[in-house]
Structure 1
Amino acid sequence: MARAKTCCFNFCKEFKDFATRGNVLDLAIGIVVGTAFTNVVQSLVDDIITPPLGLVLGGVDFANLTIKMNNFVYTNQPPVVIRYGKFLQAILSLLIVAMALFCIIKGVNHIYKISTKKKKKHEVESIIEASEDIKLLREIRDLLAGRAYIQATTIRI
């Protein structure tokens, strides 16, 4: 029985460690925000973009664009309906989400390049500062070496 409690305790501890890592929390936040973003884009396409587009195309409601196929096997059943209008709306939603993700990734890459340039510039400046320190230390070494040479020559005379 004690072994089962220890096993359960270890499992709980490992699960807590797993769940509190940054990557898992970031993934969960990304899924929630992505779902909300998808709902917004879906509403944008369904309620704002496609109605004026349907109006331009002659008053067509994209959600109602269908192809009805008569049921040849079971004649007493209703016809089969292919809703290609909803499919077109889904494709439009996909294109908008893809464009938004493309813009976000381009922005993140741009920020990453800027931070990399600043980091490299800081490293170069630190190398330059270190070389100035090294120059100063070399001058001090040379002065001390010259003083030691002078002392050595005065003792020999």
Structure 2
Amino acid sequence: MKGFKQFLMRGNVVDLAVAVVIGTAFTAVVTSLVQNIFTPLIAAIFGKPDFSSLTFKINGSVFRYGAFLNSVIAFLSVATVIYFVVVLPLRTINERRARGQVPPEEDPVLTDEARLLTEIRDLLAVRQTNS
């Protein structure tokens, strides 16, 4: 039981769980944006794109390829919205941030042991020059 608890409490498992929850919430927002804003906009321009009534039959089996076409159109709409509303603006912002900015040089953080070893080294160097 202890091992299972450690597995669940590892940082990457918790991070993954948070990412899934946020991704699910974000999916609901994007789906709503597509269904309530972009699909009516497309319907206003081109007519209502609903192919769910398109079917064909073979030996009594009904193939509803219109529902599949609706799913493909919905997927392409969501992918387009995500690209133009999220990916492209974020990429542009990151490029603007990166332009002209040089990452600052950071001094290494020394541990107490490293600082002590540096002092010993310097003292030995001074002793050798004085000899």
**So what's the TM-score if we normalise by structure 1?**
0.53
* Structure 2 counterpart of 1:117: 103
Summarize the Cα distance change of 1:15–1:107 in structure 2 as closer, same or farther, 3 Å threshold. farther
Larger % of helix: which? 1
**Per-residue deviation, 1:26:** 0.7
Summarize the Cα distance change of 1:21–1:33 in structure 2 as closer, same or farther, 3 Å threshold. same
* Structure 2 counterpart of 1:81: 64
- Are positions 1:91 and 2:76 aligned together? yes
Aligned length in residues: 110
SS at match of 1:26: helix
**Per-residue deviation, 1:102:** 5.9
Query: Which structure 2 segments of 5+ residues have no match?
Result: 109-121
CA distance in 2, matches of 1:14, 1:105: 41
Find the partner of 2:45 among 33, 42, 56.
Answer: 56
Summarize the Cα distance change of 1:98–1:30 in structure 2 as closer, same or farther, 3 Å threshold. farther
Find the partner of 1:70 among 56, 72, 77.
Answer: 56
Summarize the Cα distance change of 1:13–1:108 in structure 2 as closer, same or farther, 3 Å threshold. farther
Query: Which structure 1 segments of 5+ residues have no match?
Result: 1-11, 125-136, 146-157
CA distance in 2, matches of 1:27, 1:114: 34
Summarize the Cα distance change of 1:109–1:39 in structure 2 as closer, same or farther, 3 Å threshold. same
SS at match of 1:68: coil
User: For residues 3-152 of structure 1, what are the structure 2 equivalents within 5 Å?
Assistant: 12-57=1-46, 59-60=47-48, 62=49, 64-66=50-52, 68-74=54-60, 79-82=62-65, 83=67, 84-99=69-84, 100-101=86-87, 104=90, 117-118=103-104, 120=105, 122-123=106-107
Q: Which has the larger radius of gyration?
A: 1
* Structure 2 counterpart of 1:148: none
Report the aligned-residue RMSD.
3.9
Over 3 Å off, 4+ runs: 101-116
Summarize the Cα distance change of 1:98–1:52 in structure 2 as closer, same or farther, 3 Å threshold. closer
